[in-house]
Amino acid sequence: MKKTAIELSDGRELIYFDEHDDAVRSEIDRRRLPPPPPASELRYDPLVDEWVAIATHRQTRTHLPPSDECPLCPSTPERSTEIPAYDYDVVVFENRFPALSHRLPATPPEAPTPLSDARVGVGRCEVVCFTPDHQASFASLPPSRVRTVLSALADRTAELSAMPDIEQVFCFENRGEEIGVTLRHPHGQIYAYPFVPPRTRTMLAAARRHAERTGGLLLADVLAAEREAGVRVVAGNEHWTAYVPAAARWPFEVHVVPHRHVLDLAGLTDEESAAFGPVYLDVLRRCDALFDGPLPYIAAWHQAPARHPDRELAYLHLQLTSVRRAAGKLKYLAGSESAMGVFINDVRPEEAARMLREAQT
**Main-chain phi, psi angles of 63, to 5 degrees:** -130, 110
* 70 labeled part of a ligand binding site: yes
Query: Would the annotation count 287 as a binding residue?
Result: no
CA angle (136, 140, 142) in 5-degree steps: 120
SS3 104: coil
Give the whole-angstrom CA distance, residue 161 versus residue 157. Answer: 6
C-alpha to C-alpha distances, 256 to 193, 245, 253, 271, 281, nearest whole angstrom: 23, 10, 10, 16, 11
Q: Is 73 annotated as a binding residue?
A: yes
Mark whether 255 is an active-site residue: no
Please say whether the dihedral angle defined by the alpha carbons of residues 91, 96, 97 and 102, taken in this order, is positive or negative: positive
Which residues are within 8 A (CB) of 252 and not within 5 positions of it... i.e. 6 or more apart?
Answer: 244, 287, 290, 295, 297, 320, 321, 322, 324, 325, 347, 352, 356
Establish whether 63 is an annotated binding residue: no
Of residues 20, 63, 187, 302, which has the active-site annotation? 187
DSSP per-residue string spanning 43-77: EEETTTTEEEEE-GGGGGS--S--GGG-TTSBP-S
**What are the two backbone dihedrals, phi and then psi, of residue 224, each rounded to the nearest 5 degrees?**
-60, -40
Distance CA 233, CA 92 (A): 33
Kindly report the CA angle at 274 between 271 and 280, in degrees rounded to 5?
A: 130
Is the separation of the CB atoms in 255 and 349 below 8 Å? Answer: no
Residue 181: what residue type? Answer: V
Q: Within the chain, where are the H helices?
A: 143-161, 198-214, 218-229, 270-290, 340, 349-358
Q: Which residues are catalytic?
A: 187
Going by the annotation, the residues of the binding site for Zn(2+) are 70, 73, 134, 185
Going by the annotation, the residues of the binding site are 70, 73, 134, 185
